[in-house]
Structure 1
Amino acid sequence: MKSGISRRTVLRGMFQGATVAVSLPYLDCFLNGNGTALAQGAPLPVRFGTWFWGLGVTPGRFHPPTAGPDWEVLPETEPMAAYKDKVTIFGGFDCLTDGRPNFPHATGGPSIRSGVAPSVSGTLPAQSFDSIIADHIGNDTRFRTLDVSGIGDRRNSLSGQGAGQMNPVETSAARFYQRLFGEGFVDPNAAAFTPDPTTMARKSVLSVVNEQRKALERRLGAADRARLDQYFTGVRQVEGQLALRLQKPEPLVACRVPEPPGEKEVANVLEDVTENHEVLVRLLAMALACNQTKVFNVSFNNGASSLTRRGSATSHHQLTHDEAIDAELGYQPESTKFVADIMQAWGTFLGILDGTPEGDGTLLDRMLVVAHSETELAKDYNVTNMPIMFAGLAGGRVRSGLSVIGQSDPVSRIGLTAMQVMGVPVDRFGAGSMETSRPVGEVVV
């Protein structure tokens, strides 16, 4: 279809005597054929988050051997023992690939998040469940989602709309602080409130091109109209978030603006990543308490874990391949130490959220966090018996402190459960062998 529209086409309008323009997304016609309660009575929000770590666990040291409440603490779950009544551990849930390749460290993560096994390495084949949840609950806060990574890789993401779109992540605590508490932040507990004139202007700019958008749609094919509608859905979300910033926020007792962290770029040294992760999570906790977002994604390390220890050039990933299994222990001792350190970071994450009071409970009491890795045993690349956890009480919407053992069930059941707990009106999730309409009933109140 020849539309006469080029990639340089923009929607233009006038605002306060100046020309404004909104550029368009990539359309098919641009491409070739290959292409509890607040003070005013509103309930305290229930948040959702994910926590990812790479290279799995050690069989026999993580998954509880039996199902039911009061799960058995094993060596790799020791760091979360203090919070075991708020953590559920899943075992016996698999990524079903339907004959697609098991890409090393690149199949498990996207399969869990999207309910679809990728056919191309390094891609998210469909919208991730956290993004679907953000579509449902994330549009009445300043940020739809907040995405951070302890390791210094800004591409370290498993979240997004799919079809090549993945959320960028922040790795710098200093930059994250400025984004949260710098320009544009409004203290909900301040006595005075003055709308930001810049925000007012930005909101108006997004409104002036609406008529041109409608005219443009009439010149496009069906696929491009759908893509343009998806694009402007995002624009409308931004416009709604700008509108919120023109209103005085609800007072929030738990909200305290923290001191800014120092500037420090982090690469892949475990000791630095651990410190960076903790600082990022403390900032995130206060962003949640200040109602800056309801949805977040935290990655400790990357899937093919490039972590090293200070003074060593040998990576966690390399150890999983090269280190011999100790005959007496039955596992790779140095590789397993990395798992122990990562689980310690998970315990730190839980401690920060459970140590932040809110109302008659804590932040952790009013959220659901899905934590997972991309494999069980990294040496084998297996995507069965995936290490997955729920943490938090979701405001009383889930039963917690359980061991749930499936029978080689699709991991998509867990994603479906998370979405339904968060109120998303969805009755099925996944595709192919992982398409399911069965939530995990043991954890749903």
Structure 2
Amino acid sequence: MSKKWHISRRRMLKGMGACIALPFLEAMAIPGQGSTGKAPVRTAFLFMPNGVHPDRWTPATTGNTFELTPQLLPLQKFQKDIVVLGELMNKNSLFKGADGHYAKSASLLTCMPIKQTIGDNISSGGVSIDQVIAGDVGKDTLFPSLEYGLDRITTGVDINVGFTRLYGSSISWKSPNQPLSKEIDPRLAFDRLFRPYVPGVKIKADPYKQSILDLVLDDANELKRHLGRADQDKVSEYLESIYSVEKRISNDANRAKFAKNISPDITRELVRLNKSIDEYKEVYAGVNVTEKTRLMLDIMALAFWSDASRVSTFMFGNSVSDRNFSFLDGVKGNHHSISHHMDKPEALEEYTRITSWHISQYAYFLDKLQNIREGDKTLLENSMVVFTSDLRDGNRHSPRNLPVVLAGQGGGRIRTGQNLIFEKETPLANLYLTMLHTLNIQHDRFGDSTGTLKELV
């Protein structure tokens, strides 16, 4: 048997005036004692609009012997790493007199009733779960949280239900009146986190002294020229939320700590991803969003790996998304229209294929996390990654029995490899409260929670 090479946990990389600490490596473990340090737990929430085929989602059997349904088949490799959660409901997303999407998407992570409005006096009813977590763990990272997605902010009013479309553009809320703007461009997302650490890349200006608003100001002003007063105010509020994030990352100590986490393996991934983004920019035609989606998920994974942030949200589309999925075999239209399938077999088949695409991207992200080692665990084992939609079925707009999957063991505290069916109308907030307790964030309640999901822990 070959002798394992052991190096000190204090080992530094030195050269060319640089001194960079290494993250925990297998070679740092003392034989017989395993890991010498406990990795942080990362948390992500991935949102898919428009619901799922209600009859092709939930596995037929419960416990750890369940078989994946057609829409969940892309997760076959991760069956032991996930929990399928049935009969969770976001009760506060039910809105009298309005049967649309906005009350459901805006309250998905707050589990509180939103305020119906067509103006700028928006309210999500509470702080979203990701921001509660970020408020506790974000002080130790460069970015308290990261908000990513694929679609621009949607403005105007949906006259069918009497809601401002701004409610459909964010699931992350710093306060009831302050949604957090999401980054949708892979180049901007990558540069903001990592450009100073890519070997050979020249930095024209200190990215921490340059506001991201400088890059989008012209586009924002052009947009506002076409909006009414109320929407202009709302866009300004979104831009202000960006400033609030920038102010929170001005901590020099956290910046220095982050730089020390840039190991050789992370550097290689930085170089690969930087090149991939450049290549994507040259060939992207704006139709098939698969590559863009995976680049954004690569950036999320790298942010978790490097400890740039421990909390993130990702929106595959805004609420009521009408993205055309004709790039998929067997699909001939847009997501929202197909979700109103009227129980027609051909529409339901297209609906299933669209959901399977989303689950495949979720599986791609899980695979990235699983292939990153952290001591005696993987990054996936040290994470909690939720995939969900705000509706069960887009045809019925129901927030009952929501499609929810949780992946990762939360550092060893989550019991995965299960299909769990709870009592009907169990609050979705019970899942979030369980996640808070897993992170040792001791809240008595969250949203309309009535307790924790003990079967998970």
Distance 2:434 2:286 in 1: 34
Match of 2:377 in 1: 361
Contact 2:94–2:104 under 8 Å retained in 1: no
Report whether the alignment pairs 1:339 with 2:355: yes
Report whether the alignment pairs 1:43 with 2:38: yes
Deviation per residue, 1:159-205 (Å, 9 max, x gap):
1223221111111111111112124x599xxxxxxxx99979x9xxx
Match of 2:159 in 1: none
Instruction: Give the 3-state SS of the residue equivalent to 1:131 in structure 2.
Output: helix
Shift of 1:158: 0.3
Written as runs of structure 1 = structure 2, the 5 A alignment for 1:264-283 is 269=287, 271=288, 273-283=289-299
Shift of 1:53: 0.7
Contact 1:144–1:294 under 8 Å retained in 2: yes
Match of 2:143 in 1: 143
Measured at CA, do residues 244 and 107 of structure 1 come closer, stay the same or move farther in structure 2, by a change above 3 Å?
A: same
Instruction: Give the 3-state SS of the residue equivalent to 1:161 in structure 2.
Output: strand
Could you say which structure has the larger radius of gyration? 1
Measured at CA, do residues 37 and 425 of structure 1 come closer, stay the same or move farther in structure 2, by a change above 3 Å?
A: farther
Contact 1:172–1:266 under 8 Å retained in 2: no
Distance 1:321 1:199 in 2: 45
Report whether the alignment pairs 1:180 with 2:193: yes
Instruction: Give the alignment partner of residue 401 of structure 1, picking from 410, 417, 429.
Output: 417
Match of 1:11 in 2: none
Match of 2:438 in 1: 421
Shift of 1:282: 1.3
Contact 2:143–2:248 under 8 Å retained in 1: no
Shift of 1:132: 0.3
Contact 2:149–2:184 under 8 Å retained in 1: yes
Match of 1:255 in 2: 266
Normalising by structure 2, we get a TM-score of 0.71
Distance 2:105 2:434 in 1: 17
Normalising by structure 1, we get a TM-score of 0.72
Written as runs of structure 1 = structure 2, the 5 A alignment for 1:84-99 is 84-97=79-92
Match of 2:324 in 1: 308
Instruction: Give the alignment partner of residue 245 of structure 1, picking from 247, 252, 255.
Output: 255
Contact 1:174–1:264 under 8 Å retained in 2: no
Distance 2:245 2:190 in 1: 24
Match of 1:113 in 2: 109
Contact 1:124–1:158 under 8 Å retained in 2: no
Measured at CA, do residues 178 and 99 of structure 1 come closer, stay the same or move farther in structure 2, by a change above 3 Å?
A: closer
Deviation per residue, 1:141-160 (Å, 9 max, x gap):
11111111134558732012
Contact 2:53–2:351 under 8 Å retained in 1: no
Instruction: Give the 3-state SS of the residue equivalent to 1:347 in structure 2.
Output: helix
Shift of 1:99: 6.8
Distance 2:285 2:452 in 1: 39
Report whether the alignment pairs 1:76 with 2:77: no
RMSD of aligned C-alpha atoms? Answer: 3.5
Shift of 1:378: 0.3
Shift of 1:323: 5.9
Contact 1:281–1:349 under 8 Å retained in 2: yes
Shift of 1:251: 6.1
Shift of 1:404: 1.4
How much identity, in percent, do the aligned residues show?
24
Written as runs of structure 1 = structure 2, the 5 A alignment for 1:56-67 is 56-67=51-62
Instruction: Give the alignment partner of residue 411 of structure 1, picking from 422, 428, 439.
Output: 428
Match of 2:131 in 1: 131
